Structures are given as C-alpha cells and as structure tokens.
Amino acid sequence: MNILLVAEEAAGIMALRALARTEHRLVAALTAEPTRGGGSTVAAAAAALGIPVLPSARVREPETADWIRAQEIDLLLNVHSLYVVHPEVLHGPRIGSFNLHPGPLPEYAGLNAPSWAIYHGESEHAVTVHWMAPEIDAGPIAYATSFAIAEEDTGLTLSARCAREGVPLLLRLVEQAAANPAAIPRRPQDLTRRRYFGREVPNGGRLSWRWPAREVVNFVRASDYLPFPSPWGHPRARWRGQDLYILKAALTGQPADRPAGTVGSLGGGAATVAAGDEWLRIERVRLDDELAAAAGELLVRGDVLEDGR
C-alpha cells in the first residue's frame, strides 16, 4: 500500500519510524520545516530514512487531492499535525484518511486532551484512531485503547503514553487496510457527549489557593511538560507584587490550619503552602521571567501568597 503521513512532534517521529519498518511504501511525510537547533523533528527523521518531505500546509490546499490520487495513495494518516485538512484532501486516498487522537472520543476532542484529563481529575485516559471528517475529531472510531492515569503523571508523561499506545493502533489499521479495507471498524461517535477543547487555558492560567489541594496539584501536573515548553504555561499566583509560576507541587495529606496561601514549613528545598483544605508541598517555582528555583529557597515562612491575576 501507499501511505501519506502528516505528522509532527515525538508521536509523529514514532509513527514514521514504525511505518517505515512495514512492507508498505511511505510516499511522503508532510510536516513542518526543521528549525535550527530545534532537536529531533519528523522532517529530520524522514530525511534520514530517504522519505520525501513536503510542507504540512499542503493539506489545506484542495489541489493536493489531485496529487494524492496521482500518487495512488491508499491511506492518509494524521499524527499530531494541527492543520485542518481540506475536505477534498480527506477524500483523496483510496481507502480513507485517519487521525491519531491522544484522548477518548467524543469526550476529549480538540487540543491538549492529556492535560485536560489530568486537570479534570480523570483516573483513566485513552487514545483513538478515527476516520477523519470535516469536523475536527468527529469522525467514526476505528480503534481505541484505554489505560490508567497514574498519580505521578504529568501532561508530558501522559502525552508520551498516548504516543506509545497509539502507534500500535496505527499499525493495526494498516494491517487491516492491507488485508480487507471493508473490515476497518467504523463506529459512529455519540456527539451528544462531545466536549471540544481549544487553545484556552483553564481559569486563564490563574491559580487560586482557596481551591482544594488536589485541584491545585492537578492544574500543576496538567501544565507540566518539563523540560519542554508547556502549551498552557504554568499556573500563576502572586508573591510580593510579582507573578509566581508553580512548576512542581504535591499533596501532603495534612489538614491546613492557616489561611489559604500562607507559606508554612520549609525544608528539603520545598515549601508548604496552605490550600483550601490541606497543606501543599511546593517544590519548584519561577518568578516572572527568572530561572526556576527551589520553592524553599525563595519563599519565606509566614508570607501569604495571593491568587493569580
């Protein structure tokens, strides 16, 4: 079969390398141009494998459908590329166009599904391969698998888990398409349960110390893509007239006996801060545009942190 891969990020690299090991032909990888000093990219990985690289923006152009038909493309596979594919391009491949989505559908359609799942306190997550439709993440489901969200998971680790679980689903799709395309599952989504998340950040990125401690920790974990940039930034509070970004936080299980935002004990580089119900252990912070620091080396016992604004 002839496969066209539209891909970005680490998941795109994983998918590219896995597909290159199959007996099928990767006609091209549509992806962003590599940036100087930008680390590993789909473009670099494709070039190393001798796979032609084309601009990912071509999926928005209706004439790309003619090129797809001329190349006799059987499958278009979209992995973490955020360009909206033109409807004519979606219908260009002989068998169909499919998207690897890092979340359960229809409940977590759109962007940053792993972060939203952690933020909402979910205990389980999923990754989904679905037929692509003009409406984003709304096409019928072909394959999906679910797994537990661990207490220590962050936005980064859960995203990585989605990639590890998702690439085998793509390979399963490719095997079925080669054997009998008519047997590829096509389960319609119940769109009455659909929730779509865009580029918005919960609460505008502002943290409130009056929230239950678990909600604070979930917000911090959901935003944590360290050492890489976070799509949400980091939750912000205020300290001595400056924005204070919370990078790492954990529960202590100890009921708070001081007003929310009060800095308590210091030790081991961390500081305890009172939330609405219990003390939080704040481990790493960043003040305005300064470098990250150990919270216990910056904050002062007895200070009161304000909510973000």
- Mean pLDDT along residues 293-305: 94
Answer whether residue 257 shows pLDDT above 80. Answer: yes
How, if at all, do strands 124-131 and 96-101 pair? antiparallel
Report in angstroms the alpha-carbon separations of 32 from 15, 29, 53, 162, 220: 16, 10, 9, 21, 29
DSSP bridge partners of 273: 263, 280
pLDDT given at position 243: 95
Report yes or no: 16 and 50 within 8 Å, Cβ to Cβ.
Answer: no
Which has the closest alpha carbon to 298: 255, 258, 251, 248?
A: 248
Q: What is the Cβ-side half-sphere exposure of residue 245, based on CA atoms within 13 angstroms?
A: 17
**The CATH classification of domain 204-307, taken from the options 3.30.470.10, 1.10.10.10, 3.10.20.30, 3.10.25.10:** 3.10.25.10
Phi (first) and psi of residue 262, to 5 degrees:
-70, 135
**Separation CA 54–CA 146 (nearest Å):** 33
The model's confidence at residue 288, banded by pLDDT at 50, 70 and 90, is: confident
Structure tokens, 171: 């390979």
The model's confidence at residue 38, banded by pLDDT at 50, 70 and 90, is: low
- Mean pLDDT along residues 68-77: 97
Buried b (16+ CB within 10 A) or exposed e, 86-120: beebbebbebbbbbbbbbbbbbbbbbbbbbbbbbe
pTM for the whole structure: 0.94
Whether omega before 106 lies within 30 degrees of 0, making that bond cis, reads yes
pLDDT given at position 309: 86
How, if at all, do strands 293-294 and 196-197 pair? unpaired
CATH 3.10.25.10 location in the chain = 204-307
**Separation CA 257–CA 224 (nearest Å):** 28
Q: What is the pLDDT of residues 141-198, one digit of tens each?
A: 999 999 999 999 999 999 999 999 999 999 999 999 999 999 999 999 999 999 999 9
% of the chain beyond a pLDDT of 70: 98
DSSP bridge partners of 281: 250, 272
Answer whether residue 290 shows pLDDT above 90. Answer: no
Check residues 107 and 291 and name the one with the higher pLDDT. Answer: 107
CATH 3.40.50.170 location in the chain = 2-197
Answer whether residue 36 shows pLDDT above 60. Answer: no
Answer whether residue 34 shows pLDDT above 80. Answer: no
The interaxial angle of helices 155-179 and 9-20, nearest 10 deg, is 30
- Mean pLDDT along residues 100-126: 98
CATH superfamily entry for domain 2-197: Formyl transferase, N-terminal domain (3.40.50.170)
The model's confidence at residue 205, banded by pLDDT at 50, 70 and 90, is: very high
Answer whether residue 80 shows pLDDT above 90. Answer: yes
Whether omega before 212 lies within 30 degrees of 0, making that bond cis, reads no
Answer whether residue 278 shows pLDDT above 60. Answer: yes
**Separation CA 273–CA 302 (nearest Å):** 10
Check residues 204 and 290 and name the one with the higher pLDDT. Answer: 204
**Mean pLDDT over the full length of the chain:** 95
Task: Write down how long the chain is.
Answer: 309
pLDDT given at position 33: 78
Phi (first) and psi of residue 239, to 5 degrees:
-145, 120
pLDDT given at position 289: 74
Q: What is the pLDDT of residues 233-249, one digit of tens each?
A: 999 999 999 999 999 99
Answer whether residue 98 shows pLDDT above 60. Answer: yes
The model's confidence at residue 283, banded by pLDDT at 50, 70 and 90, is: very high
- Mean pLDDT along residues 200-225: 97
- Mean pLDDT along residues 17-32: 96
Answer whether residue 35 shows pLDDT above 80. Answer: no
